[in-house]
Structure 1
Amino acid sequence: MLQTLRGQARHQQPTATDPTSRWVGSIGLAVAVGISYFLAARLSLALLTKPDGVAVFWPAAGVSAGALIALGPGARLPVAVGAMVATIVANLLGDRTLLAAIIFALCNAGEALLTASLIERQFGSGFGLDRLRHVLGFLAAAIVATAVSGIGGTVGFKYFHGSTGPILTTWQHWFASDALGIVTVAPLLIGLASAARELPPRNEIIEGVMALVMLSVMSGLVIVLPREPWATVAPIALLFPLLLWLAARCRPAFAAAAAFIVALTIVWTTTFGIGYFGDPALSMADRVLGAQAGILATSLCAFVLAALFAERRQNEAALMEGEARLQEALTAGAVTAFEWDPRIGSSRRSGNAAQILGFDPQQPFTGTQFLARVHPDDRARFKALVHGVRPDSPSYTVTFRFIRLDGREVWLEETSRAEFDAAGHYIRFKGLTLDITERKRAQEHQDRLVAELDHRVKNVLARVAAVAMFTHEGSSSMDDFVQALNRRIQSMADAHALLSQSRWRGVRLTDLVHSQLAPYATNANMTIAGPDITLTAGATEAVAMVLQELVTNAVKHGALSTPDGRVSLSWDRPDGDAAAHLAMVWRELSGPPIVAPIQSGYGTNLIRDLIPHELGGKVGLVFASRGVCCRIEIPLERG
């Protein structure tokens, strides 16, 4: 049945584009509804009220109304046609005239259309009986639709069937039989359609089927109970626990099936004179009234219980989903929520607290234990803030260190608000604890960077000031001073640019050499060779200044001052050197004869003294007649 409803619903989807498929689906649906409607109608016509001839029960009304509600507006035409044809055929096989059968068919089809339209207008598509509001709306729609159709049915019985009963009585019989039919049968089809859209779990299906089988057996027992005083409470004692079981454990479709089974049993026994509702000692009116009351009470009980339990399950699922999302958000933000009662030391924390605070989630973690793990240097301040809250200042925010059970120290930021009793004593704290360890580390790293930057800026400014002063002392004119100062500051800027690119983690010596010699060196006048070695920040700055002075001296007075002059710069790390020294050799060739200066200037002093002073290295500068030679040794581990 689930697969049939699902298939019919697919055929009624408005997105279908094949006209042939739509027509085949519509015809199949009309035939299915017509056959079901006809069988239900024939059963109903076996028991008629006197003297108007209205059927006591009309479950066929539930077939058409339930199909329309379950399948939606796309099923209106085939369901209406199937219901009308089945009504006409069933009535003609009885004692009804053709005109009366047509009127009854129009009333029955209109009743189903009105019921479905009212529900769709109020609740939209995909209607289900999983909310109490939906159950009450369904009952209201059934009452309105059957009350309206009862007017047309009464006219048909009075003027086209020769009914001699009072008009109001005929309308009441029509209203009661159709309303009970909709209430008992339509929920079953609605529930099956809902289950087809979202199949219940296998365990739920098995449990529901078992309960329905037991209910069927109990219904049979209730019907054949002897007429004893205790038998009046037996139906409630036998059936209500099963209805409660189905409502509490299964979806509303199973409760609707239970109500249908009970209603079908009552209708069958009343129609064929079996059991309590077929007792010949009772008048037909009493038997019918008792049967209708039993059907209505059982159905309403089942639907209301199922809706209430379904709403509870939905609310529980929503709460669990909300709790899960909250836990995910707290975990993502490294935040834990807590509630702490300082009077007894108990505390409750969110599920991610164990991950942040490092305790065993299977073991209790009290407020006293939490305070004991606050860093000793922060504990007194933490307690002072907690004990300092009062009704006019109930909140506090504190940052402190916390020692986890694994010994790791983390930084936490806690914001809490206290609740007070009538006497003004705090009784409970609620708040959030945020893990700010990464923020603290980033802040400490930033502080170190700022301090390092401050140190470097001071060094640079001091070096620039010294360079400017000594350059001025060694300059013969203002133009010479400006040119020399600009050259030396540009050399320092180039070295800083390389350090900035590497985030001050060091510079490759090859890159530094090319940067400092670039304005003067070519492939024809410069030979550069050496392994790949990375200098530290301090070594980079010192070597850059020395290279700048060497190349400047070569351009002015040495090998690079003539077209045929050449410079060779090589470096290496000597094998077996446990101290890991870098050895560099600057050698000028084929230049003009060199005469050692009588008095060393600023550039010469910088070459000889800077590296030994700042790096602990050695510099050997020789002004040989055939060209300048400078040997430099730098301890790499101290750079």
Structure 2
Amino acid sequence: MKASSWLQPLLFAIIYGLLAFFSIDAQDSANLSTLIWPSAGILLGALMLSPARQWPMWMLIAGVLHTTASLTNSRPPSMALLFTTADLATMAAIAALWRYRVGEACTLTQPRSLFWFIGLVLVGCIAGGLVTDEALEWLHHPTAHYGWSTWAISVGIGCLTGAPLVMAWGNFRVRLIGGPNRQNLLIGLLWFTALLVTAEIAFDGPTSTWVFGDTNYELTYLPLLFVVLVAMVWEERGTTLALVTLALVAGVNTLQGEGPFVFEAQQRSLALIEVQGYVGAAALMGLTMSAINASRQQALQLAAAWKVRFEGALLSSRHLMYEFDPHSGKISWGGEVQALLGLSAASLATLDDFLARVHPDDRQPFIDHAQFNDKGSDEILTQSYRFRFRCADGEYRDAVVTGAPIVDFDGEVYRVDGLLHLESELTMVQRV
């Protein structure tokens, strides 16, 4: 038996169980609804990341641990089974719909998949809270007027923080290459340290008193800035670490009766609901920035890959690409100009530089090709011209340029693009 076949369920059971027993201890005495429930996110992440054939295993483990934690904390059996069933059904529905909408790309680093994740969590948790509240009334269990919203908030925030953590680290492998470079690692470490320091000052009473002399908690929303900064450089995994750290600092201190959401005349349950809203806002900001940054990095990598393919095709076919700006007279080159012509691209940076090396008898057709004057877009066609070009050794060689202008919406030429092919072999190449 492979180690991973039992290690993952064991790790899931340990994490889920510890979070479940911890959360049950913070339950609301008015309606026995758990105010902090990150276990929902751990289960949701496992379902989103795993194939459907493994879902019964995760749900069985979660169901047993959830029910056991409820019963050991004097929760009525009917209520324990109700909350367990509601949790399992809601997480399974969210995971199934999410996978149906995003397909096999099980990731939250794309804006589309993140949009569906957030939307389904929002709708699913509200629906689950309403159904659970109705079921409690049917079972004749007294509930407070905010009972359904308490369930929806605790489960929803647990999903926003726990599921991305599982998604980011569930298939973690140590990579020798890839990921953030050294500079981004150091910058991210700086932002993460700032997040930890500001979160301690904002939510820990003794630390705030030591820094400011009182407990005014002036830096309550500054940690949100550093969550976003961490997401910009550490991407998905760093974002989840930042969110878990902030949730841990804010949640533990609020449970201890400290922090900006705790007031003398306020019940602890209301403070916990408010701090969960704070963590939820941080999760939305961090996950959104992480997805935007991941999409940008993917676009840059795709552009770099196409650049390598394009330059390889030019080099193997002995072609050069040019882009001529008729307004400035400047030429941009693509390909190995030095290798094919024996000249640097800088020495051919303008039309005048290039025409100086074209044979005098062949210049006028090339000038016409470059200018295209004021022809309408319906008259402009791709054209080829053969001419003689003086290379670095002073010898003229046959060359062919093929190109056409690019016109704007007004029918005016703003670029001339094409390819240049040197037909005669360049035997001696001068290299700088």
TM-score over 0.5 (shorter chain)? yes
Distance of aligned partners of 1:334 and 1:291 in 2 relative to their CA distance in 1, 3 Å threshold: same
Aligned to 1:185: 162
Instruction: Look up the match of 2:152.
Output: 175
Does the 8 A contact of 1:269 with 1:278 survive in 2?
no
Match of 1:71 in 2: 50
Displacement after TM superposition at 1:28 (Å): 4.5
Question: Given the alignment of the two structures, is residue 432 of structure 1 paired with residue 419 of structure 2, yes or no?
Answer: yes
Deviation sequence 1:547-594 (CA, Å, 0-9, x none):
xxxxxxxxxxxxxxxxxxxxxxxxxxxxxxxxxxxxxxxxxxxxxxxx
What does residue 32 of structure 2 align with?
Answer: 53
Q: Partners in 2 of 1:365 and 1:321 — Cα distance?
A: 26
Is 1:308 aligned to 2:275, yes or no? no
Q: Following the alignment from structure 2 to structure 1, what is the Cα–Cα distance between the partners of residues 121 and 312?
A: 46
Say yes or no: does 1:235 pair with 2:215. Answer: no
* Counterparts in 2 of 1:359 and 1:432: CA distance versus 1, 3 Å: same
Contact 1:359 1:365 in 2 (8 A): no
CA distance in structure 2 between the aligned counterparts of 1:313 and 1:220, rounded to whole angstroms: 32
Q: Equivalents in 1 of 2:270, 2:140: separation in Å?
A: 25
The residue number in structure 1 matching 2:398 is 411
Mapped partners of 1:290, 1:53: distance in 2: 18
> 1:425 and 1:159 mapped to 2: Cα distance?
74
- Look up the equivalent residue of 1:398 and give its one-letter code: Y
Q: For the Cα contact (< 8 Å) 1:111–1:149, is it kept in 2?
A: yes
**Structure 2 match to 1:383:** 367
Q: Does 2:256 match 1:248?
A: no
Shift of 1:357: 2.9
Other-structure match for 1:293: 277
Alignment CA distance shift 1:420-1:46 (3 Å)? closer
Cα 1:423–1:157 change in 2 (3 A) is: closer
Alpha carbons 1:100, 1:161 under 8 Å: kept? no
What is the one-letter code of the residue matched to 2:197? Answer: V
1:341 to 291, 312, 325: 325
Is the Cα–Cα contact under 8 Å of residues 319 and 335 in structure 2 kept in the other structure? no
Deviation at 1:44, TM superposition (A): 1.7
Residues 229, 344 of structure 1: alpha-carbon distance in 2 compared, 3 angstrom cutoff: farther
The amino acid that maps onto 1:217 is: V
Counterpart secondary structure, 2:73: coil
Alignment of 1:203-214 (within 5 A): 203=182, 208=188, 211-214=191-194
Distance 1:98-1:214 versus aligned 2 partners, 3 A rule: same
Partner of 2:430: none
Cα distance change, pair 432–298 in 1 and its aligned pair in 2 (3 A): same
Contact 2:137 2:143 in 1 (8 A): yes
Q: Distance in 2 between matches of 1:26 and 1:118?
A: 26
Q: Secondary structure at the match of 1:316?
A: helix
3-state SS of paired residue (2:142): coil
- The change in CA–CA distance for 1:25 and 1:342 in structure 2 (over 3 A counts) is closer
8 Å CA contact 1:419, 1:429 repeated in 2 = yes
The DSSP-based 3-state class of the residue aligned with 1:196 is: coil
State the 1:87 CA deviation: 0.7
Q: What is the Cα deviation at residue 319 of structure 1?
A: 1.4
Alignment match, 1:574: none
Q: Deviations over 1:26-79 (max 9, x none)?
A: 655444323222211222223233521211121111111112222332431221
Q: Does 1:84 align with 2:63?
A: yes
Instruction: Report how far residue 404 of structure 1 moved.
Output: 1.3
Q: Distance in 1 between matches of 2:38 and 2:320?
A: 58
Q: Does 1:222 align with 2:202?
A: yes
After TM superposition, list the pairs within 5 Å mapping 1:488-507 onto structure 2.
none
Distance 1:271 1:335, change over 3 A: same
Deviations 1:237-294 (CA, angstroms, capped at 9, x unpaired): 4540x22332222221211221122122222122221222334254546523431221
How far 1:193 moved relative to its partner? 2.5
Q: Distance in 2 between matches of 1:101 and 1:414?
A: 78
**Aligned residues: CA RMSD:** 3.3
Q: Say whether the 8 Å CA contact 1:46–1:271 is kept in structure 2.
A: no
Paired residues of 1:339 and 1:349 also in contact (CA < 8 A): yes
Could you say which residue in structure 1 is the equivalent of 2:384? 397
Aligned to 1:10: none
> Percent same amino acid among aligned pairs?
22
Q: Distance in 1 between matches of 2:133 and 2:143?
A: 11
More deviation in 174-183 or 243-252? Answer: 243-252
List runs of 5+ in structure 1 lacking aligned partners: 1-20, 439-639
Q: More deviation in 54-63 or 281-290?
A: 281-290
- 1:533 aligned partner: none
The structure-2 alpha-carbon separation of the partners of 1:306 and 1:343, relative to structure 1 and needing over 3 Å to count, comes to closer
Return the offset for 1:94: 0.9
**Contact 1:100–1:156 at 8 Å: present in 2 too?**
no
Q: CA deviation at 1:410?
A: 2.6
Aligned residues, how many?
Answer: 414
Query: In structure 2, do the counterparts of structure 1 residues 145 and 32 end up closer, same or farther at CA, with 3 Å as the change threshold?
Result: farther
Any gaps of 5 or more consecutive residues in structure 2?
Answer: 426-432
Alignment check: 8 A CA contact 2:388 2:397 kept:
yes
Task: Report the structure number with the largest CA radius of gyration.
Answer: 1
Match of 1:165 in 2: 144
Instruction: Call closer, same or farther: CA 1:43–1:407 in 2, change over 3 Å.
Output: same
Which whole-Å CA distance do the structure 1 matches of 2:82 and 2:107 have between them?
A: 31
Q: Structure 1 122/344 Cα, relative in aligned 2: closer, same or farther at 3 Å?
A: closer
